[in-house]
């Protein structure tokens, strides 16, 4: 039986938990071989063992995406263990929220190094192989912050706007080489990052309730729901989708005034 991702060798960053792990699980079920990258060695080991126990072909490398040399080496390791990478999901990211004048140079650098430069490091590592082998697909996990602004979240939306710009630029640059570059923009997702955000408030349950009320459906996404959208975009089922962004936020960014 042919599976939806047979023949795909997919590199996923931030793969040890949350949306990244949900994508790895979904991709593996559909026949993909995986290169998992994460900074957390222990969590990455757990994820790798679980996926291998389920029959997936998995290479795993503990690396920081801001380290271009480490990412290039990870791609080389994958070439030896699962074959050349022909699909990339730039999922790793970090929330950096501040009032603009209170934001420090260190916060600015951290935000752009991880959310933008890190994604470019990964693109730059896989693009030569894709060009040599006649095609590939890149999916950048953006955010609704890539086209809307929430006060006091500076400079995170700047980095996500730039990531969307890089998506469009690379998509056009390599379209004639059969390389598609797209973005996926989740809204709120039930991950540890969101739980940590709620826990930063004096009343976490009230903060959670306020988040739910922002959404027309009264709930936020599960990581698996984002993973299934990513699976479609990384597959060959949308060959004419390029240099664009798919929003998966339950209608959050469409609603002008929260209920």
Question: Hey, which residues are catalytic here?
Answer: 156
Burial of 213 (0-12, 13-18, 19+ CB in 10 A): exposed
Nearest to 33 by CA among 75, 1, 78: 78
Contact 71, 37 (CB under 8 A): yes
């Amino acid at each position: 039986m042919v599976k939806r991702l047979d023949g795909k060798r997919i590199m996923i960053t931030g793969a040890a938990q949350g949306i990244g792990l949900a994508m790895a699980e979904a991709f593996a079920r559909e026949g993909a071989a995986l290169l998992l990258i994460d900074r957390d060695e222990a969590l990455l080991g757990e994820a790798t063992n679980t996926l291998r126990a389920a029959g997936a072909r998995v290479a795993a490398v503990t690396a920081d995406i801001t380290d271009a040399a480490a990412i290039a080496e990870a791609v080389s390791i994958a070439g030896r263990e699962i074959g050349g990478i022909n699909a990339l999901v730039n999922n790793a990211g970090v929330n950096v929220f501040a009032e603009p004048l209170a934001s420090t140079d260190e916060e600015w650098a951290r935000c752009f190094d991880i959310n933008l430069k890190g994604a470019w490091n990964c693109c730059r590592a896989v693009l030569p192989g894709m060009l040599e082998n006649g095609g590939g697909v890149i999916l950048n996990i953006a955010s609704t912050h890539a086209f809307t602004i929430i006060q006091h979240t500076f400079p995170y939306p700047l980095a996500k706007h730039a990531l969307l710009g890089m998506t469009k630029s690379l998509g056009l640059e390599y379209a004639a080489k059969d390389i598609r570059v797209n973005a996926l923009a989740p809204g709120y997702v039930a991950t540890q990052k969101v739980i940590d955000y709620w826990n930063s408030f004096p009343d976490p349950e009230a903060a959670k309730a306020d988040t739910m009320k922002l959404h027309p459906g009264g709930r936020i996404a599960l990581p698996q729901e984002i993973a299934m959208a990513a699976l479609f975009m990384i597959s060959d089922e949308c060959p004419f989708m390029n240099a664009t962004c798919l929003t998966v936020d339950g209608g959050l960014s469409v609603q002008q005034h929260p209920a």
